[in-house]
Amino acid sequence: MSLLSLLVLHGPNLNLLGRREPGVYGLLTLDDINTALRSQAERLNAQLEIFQSNHEGTLVDRIQASLDLHQGILINPGAYTHTSVAIRDAISAVALPTVEVHLSNIHQRETFRHHSYIAPVAVGQICGFGADSYRLGLDALVTQLRRQPDKPV
């Protein structure tokens, strides 16, 4: 089984995890989540490039740069989920299997959070399981990539 290379993107305000609305987002920090993801990736025979930005264009640049470098993307677009056609188009353009994750259940929150521009171009969406959403998303992405018969990984 070959080593997978995956891009993990965290969108705006996720750098404040552990401090920002802990009743909604939990007490774990972004570093805690990234540490857990790295451990899990090692068990799954995958390597991760992990990046967080509060800037839409910077996230788009990272998505575009992933072409020919990574086999898949795990993304929590944060608020850009509901607003960014640019991130959606970048994911579509690179055509890498992408899993969208959210700590909270966006479908149980404010109405404006119910719509995702990312979901239609993603393999799937996992939300509402706190930090476990990332773990579940990484498992799902790796499983999806290893199932693709035309792309040996």
Letter string b/e over residues 37-75, b meaning 16 or more CB atoms within 10 A of that residue's CB: beebbeebebebebbbbbebeebbebbeebeeebbbbbb
Catalytic residue among 25, 80, 117, 134: 25
> What span, in angstroms and rounded, lies between the C-alpha atoms of 50 and 10?
8
The DSSP symbol for 46 reads: E
Quick check: 77 and 11 in contact, CB under 8 A? yes
Catalytic residue among 10, 70, 102, 117: 102
Q: Is 80 a catalytic residue?
A: no
Quick check: 141 and 74 in contact, CB under 8 A? yes
Q: Is 25 a catalytic residue?
A: yes
- Catalytic site positions: 25, 102
